[in-house]
Structure 1
Amino acid sequence: EQLFHPEEGDFEVRIKKGGRFHHYTFDHHPCDVVGWDGYLYPWIFNIRDFEPITGRIHQPPPVHQTFRGHNYVVCSFCPRKFDYHPESIPAPYNHSNVDSDEMIYYVEGDFMSRKGIGYADITLHPGGIPHGPQPGKAEASIGVEETDEYAVMIDTFHPMYVTEEAMRLDDPSYPFSWLED
Structure 2
Amino acid sequence: DFPILVKQYDGINEIMLDHHPLDVIGWDGYFYPWAFNINDFEPIVGRVHQPPPVHQTFQGDGFVVCSFCPRPYDFHPEAVPAPYNHSNVDSDEVLYYASSEFMSRKGIEFGSITHHPDGIPHGPHPGRAEASIGAKYTDELAVMMDSFRPLKVARPALDFEDPEYHKSWVSGQHAQFNPPTS
- TM class by smaller structure: 0.7 to 0.9
Larger radius of gyration: 2
List runs of 5+ in structure 2 lacking aligned partners: 1-27, 173-182
> Distance between the aligned counterparts of 2:33 and 2:152, measured in 1?
25
Q: Which residue of 2 aligns with 1:91?
A: 82
Q: Which residue of 2 aligns with 1:100?
A: 91
> Distance between the aligned counterparts of 2:166 and 2:67, measured in 1?
24
Q: Which residue of 2 aligns with 1:26?
A: none
Q: Which residue of 2 aligns with 1:75?
A: 66
Q: CA offsets, 1:117-148, max 9 Å, x none?
A: 11010000001000000111111110011100
List runs of 5+ in structure 1 lacking aligned partners: 1-36
> Distance between the aligned counterparts of 2:125 and 2:74, measured in 1?
19
> Distance between the aligned counterparts of 1:109 and 1:80, measured in 2?
15
Structure richer in strand, relative to its length: 1
Q: Give the counterpart letter for 1:174 in structure 2.
A: Y
Task: Determine if the alignment matches structure 1 residue 158 to structure 2 residue 127.
Answer: no
> Distance between the aligned counterparts of 1:178 and 1:151, measured in 2?
20
> Distance between the aligned counterparts of 1:89 and 1:169, measured in 2?
33
Contact 1:109 1:148 in 2 (8 A): no
Q: Give the counterpart letter for 1:40 in structure 2.
A: F
Q: CA offsets, 1:22-42, max 9 Å, x none?
A: xxxxxxxxxxxxxxx722233
Q: Which residue of 2 aligns with 1:47?
A: 38
Q: CA offsets, 1:10-53, max 9 Å, x none?
A: xxxxxxxxxxxxxxxxxxxxxxxxxxx72223320000000000
